[in-house]
Amino acid sequence: MTESQLPDWTDQKMATKVRTALWLATEVGEGNVYTKEQLRAAFPDVTQIDRRVRELRDYGWVIATNRDDPRLTSHEARFVQAGDPVWEPGARARALRERRPLATLHSASVERVPETRFTDAVRVHRPQDPEAVWERLKDLSQGERSLVLAWIAMGRRPSSPAELTWRAFRSLSERQRLEMAARLGELVSSELYEELPVAEERGDDS
């Protein structure tokens, strides 16, 4: 089931836990950061909405906080990975019957996240050594250090144009994604072809 086919998260006939899962899946997107303010604004009439999100971990949903990911502030969380489709009939009961201990499930799910998804892989319950962090900061170029300093001053890392584009792409239907992928392939192919040396294009006649 694609995102465009998922139930409407604003449907108040559904359980709050289901609505929060759908909100994460359709409004935030895997790998993206959201703030507590955004969550509470989406569910203004729900008390303890943070708890409803945490309960999704029982179903294999991975949500990282600043305790898991030092790049996050205390007001941010990252939707790392979706778990069981709790909006489907019987999915919640089936998941609870089959689930492993919560700590094991949460840790294993985070460790399965590909390292290419983030600048560094999210590591649960592995606090960084301050001196190791300092050594990494010293190894950066002057421009990179300035960029990190700006992020520290802002208290967050702004999404790059590529990340924003990826999120917009994920909002498309499956058919639209396929069409977009084909168009992007043609564009990248033409750009690479234009960069080929002239001699290589016409071949070696000598």
Say which DSSP state 72 is in: S
What mean pLDDT, rounded, does the chain reach?
76
Per-residue burial over 21-55, b if 16 or more Cβ lie within 10 Å, else e, is bbbbbbbbbbbbbbebeebeebbeebeebbebbee
- The owner of tokens 């192919």 is 189
Please give the order of strands across the beta sheet that includes 32-35. Answer: 32-35, 76-81, 62-64
The model's pLDDT over 22-34, given as tens digits with 9 standing for 90+, comes to 999 999 998 899 9
How far apart CA 206 and CA 195 sit, in angstroms, is 22
pTM over 0.85: no
pLDDT of the residue at 169: 81
**Mean pLDDT to the nearest integer, 123-133:** 62
CB of 83 within 8 A of CB of 109? Answer: yes
39-72: per-residue pLDDT in tens?
999 999 888 898 889 889 888 889 988 888 888 8
Determine the 3-state secondary structure of 91 from DSSP.
helix
